């Protein structure tokens, strides 16, 4: 539960999920999905960077 709340907090604070400026539920949903993809890509990039530092 805490990890989900942490992700929601990051989406709201860092990825502007709180301040949607689009009209329509489908556009809002698309915006949130794109933000979630960015959040996952960032997490993967950080993990990959940390793994390469441990090997070197």
Which tens digits make up the pLDDT trace of 1-51?
888 898 888 888 887 777 778 889 999 889 889 988 998 999 899 999 888
Distance CA 23, CA 40 (A): 25
| Domains of the chain, residue spans | 3-54
- The pLDDT, as a whole number, for residue 51 is 84
The DSSP 8-state label assigned to residue 22 in this structure reads -
Q: Is the pLDDT of residue 56 over 70?
A: no
Is the CB of residue 35 less than 8 Å from the CB of residue 11?
Answer: yes
- The pLDDT, as a whole number, for residue 50 is 87
- The pLDDT, as a whole number, for residue 52 is 81
Element (H, E) at 27: helix 25-55
């Amino acid at each position: 539960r805490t990890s989900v709340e942490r992700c929601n907090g990051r989406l709201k604070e860092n990825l502007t999920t709180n301040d949607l400026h689009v009209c329509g539920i489908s556009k809002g949903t698309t915006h949130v999905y794109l933000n979630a993809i960015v959040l996952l890509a960032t997490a993967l990039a950080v993990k990959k960077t940390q793994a390469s530092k441990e090997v070197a």
